[in-house]
Amino acid sequence: MLKVFLAEDEFVIREGIKNNINWFSNGYEFCGDASDGELAYSQILKLQPDILITDIKMPFMDGLTLSRMIKAKFPWIQIILLTGYEDFEYAKEAIKIGVASYLSKPISGEKLLTEINTVAEKIMEKKREQEISLKYQLDMKEKTEQEKQLFFSELITGSRPLSEILDKASKLSLNIDGPIYNLVLVKIWSLQHEADEYSQSVINVEDEIRKLLEYKGVQIFSLNLEGIALLFMGDNEETLNDEIRNTLNDIKIILSAYRHIRYFGGVGQCVKRITDIPVSFSWASRAYAHMYLNSENDFLFGKEEFLISKNENVILSEVDPGHIDRKLIKEFLRRGEEAESEYFLREFLGGMGKNAMKSTMLRQYIAMDIYFCVSEYVCKELMLPKDEQKGISPATDFLSDENKVFNYLVTIVKKAIALRKATSLSHYTEVVNEVLEYIEAHFCDENLSLNQLAAYVNVSPNYLSTVFSQQTGQSFIKYLTDYRMDKAKELLATTSKKSNEIAFLVGYKDPHYFSFLFKKTQGITTSLYRSKCASEA
């Protein structure tokens, strides 16, 4: 129900408008009135009506001044001006301010109500447009997330100049105003599920964390199967680090309610330039790599010389296990990403001691042991024969060079992960095919969503979004929208069904939204499309 407020200094006119119109039965709430503009303004600030009816000539503050102030504060409020003066200058000023209607007094209640109804229809139309626009933004959220992922990738690699970064951030409505920045990488998963399996608990906890972070103004970027990245911004390093610690403690409180949920995070270093964010990312990644070296929930902070556990204050880079733990290598091969390989190996080898790789004998032992570990993983777990293990061969003539050995280890670990992903391709295909069949059978269900499909095929929404895009070349929501639009075009061309009927048949209960979406995606209205098909027949 729209709210109406009246500002009129003449008591008889004010009472007449207030009492001679049956506001409720006509669908309005008369929320208040005032005898001058100054009193009206203070009440409007509190009541925020949809429609303001105001006289031009009033004491203390006239109607034009009131209108100007209201439009500056609440541009959506529609204003009807009443005046007993036929002065063109008043009308011209009213148009300039953006007044919806300019009426001469005296005016009957019936005529005023007619004008209010006209203004109300404009308000409702505007609200419908806003609702449709909001729904479209929500529907396109997956596409927007993919664009944000690309932006983040460019941000952390330094592949774009500052001007392009700022321009793209503006287009994505991302606030990246510093002047101090820091990154946190976070992974959350269920101990009861594999990383790629569907877990409602993980979805619930991620939603809670997103709400917290959005409230705090932290920018969130999805890393697909690798977790999420959080971009913190502040005025100085000390307050920013305090904000990060406080936020991580809040996240821990949320996670503490889920006993079967595990989490791990890496915190980077503060930087003073947007173009230095790759430096922060590098330190966050080093800390993040300890996820594969640590069985406990934790957030680790990257430092110049070592990594400090926030919980235990342990200098991790000086821990000496005495030997290579193959379980850690295999765990990384099973769950890690190619992009994480270098960070993981640096932290893994660093944990053996600062000088471990400087010893030729130990370096040779480490290189061969990791090679055998990788080879065993590929043969036994991936079940690939030797002829399919190209790129994984024992180190030979370069074992005397520390850097070459490290690069060799990075190469074979990356190759093993690439082979793991390649062997999973058939599973990806099966999952996506199952999803495509489900879409074909249920596209007319308005509530069809990525989460619903993820639960159906028992994979996580992030996992499904990733593999769906890889297999089809487009996001799930774009595929679904295109599929529905193709069905709609078929019905428009071959039947006489009305547009609102077709909307329902292809999965849209709101015919206004369907019409908006059809024109948005096809560049033509439904009626013109039907006419075009008829003329071409």
49 preceded by cis ω (within 30°)? no
Report the pLDDT value the prediction gives residue 37, as an integer from 0 to 100.
Answer: 92
Cβ neighbour number for residue 448 with a 10 Å cutoff:
16
pLDDT one digit per residue (tens) for the chain, 537 residues: 899 999 999 998 999 999 989 999 999 999 999 999 999 999 999 999 999 999 988 889 888 899 999 999 999 999 998 887 666 667 777 778 888 888 888 888 889 999 999 999 989 988 888 888 888 877 877 788 888 988 999 999 988 899 999 999 999 999 998 899 999 999 998 877 666 677 888 888 989 999 999 999 999 998 866 689 999 999 999 999 999 999 999 999 999 988 888 899 999 999 999 999 999 999 999 899 888 887 889 899 887 554 544 433 333 344 344 446 778 888 899 888 888 899 999 888 877 766 667 767 777 778 888 888 898 888 888 888 776 777 787 776 667 788 888 899 999 999 999 888 888 776 778 889 999 999 999 999 999 999 899 999 988 888 888 889 888 988 899 999 999 999 999 999 999 999 999 999 999 999 999 999 999 999 999 999 999 998 876
- Which positions ≥6 away from 52 have C-beta within 8 Å? 4, 5, 6, 7, 40, 44, 66, 67, 70, 77, 78, 79, 80
The domain defined by 432-536 folds into Arc Repressor Mutant, subunit A (1.10.10)
Instruction: Give yes or no on whether 147-304 and 432-536 have one common fold.
Output: no
Report the pLDDT value the prediction gives residue 352, as an integer from 0 to 100.
Answer: 72
Q: Which of 187, 247, 242, 172 is nearest to 217 (CA)?
A: 247
106 preceded by cis ω (within 30°)? yes
The domain defined by 2-139 folds into Rossmann fold (3.40.50)
Where b means 16+ CB within 10 Å and e means fewer, 173-202 reads ebebeeebbbbbbbbbbbeebebbebbebb
Residue 151 CA to residue 163 CA, distance in Å, equals: 13
Span 453-489, pLDDT tens digits: 999 998 888 888 888 988 898 889 999 999 999 999 9
Single pTM value for the model = 0.64
Residue 346 CA to residue 302 CA, distance in Å, equals: 13
Q: Are 413 and 369 in contact (CB under 8 A)?
A: no
Report the pLDDT value the prediction gives residue 521, as an integer from 0 to 100.
Answer: 92
Residue 439 CA to residue 483 CA, distance in Å, equals: 9
Q: Which of 437, 424, 436 is nearest to 463 (CA)?
A: 424
Report the pLDDT value the prediction gives residue 82, as an integer from 0 to 100.
Answer: 87
Report the pLDDT value the prediction gives residue 242, as an integer from 0 to 100.
Answer: 94
Q: Are 274 and 176 in contact (CB under 8 A)?
A: yes
Residue 374 CA to residue 328 CA, distance in Å, equals: 12
Residue 307 CA to residue 347 CA, distance in Å, equals: 9
Domain boundaries, given as residue ranges, for the chain? 2-139, 147-304, 320-423, 432-536
Report the run of H or E that residue 221 belongs to, with start and end: strand 219-222
Residue 204 CA to residue 260 CA, distance in Å, equals: 13
User: Under CATH, domain 147-304 is a member of which superfamily?
Assistant: Reverse transcriptase/Diguanylate cyclase domain (3.30.70.270)
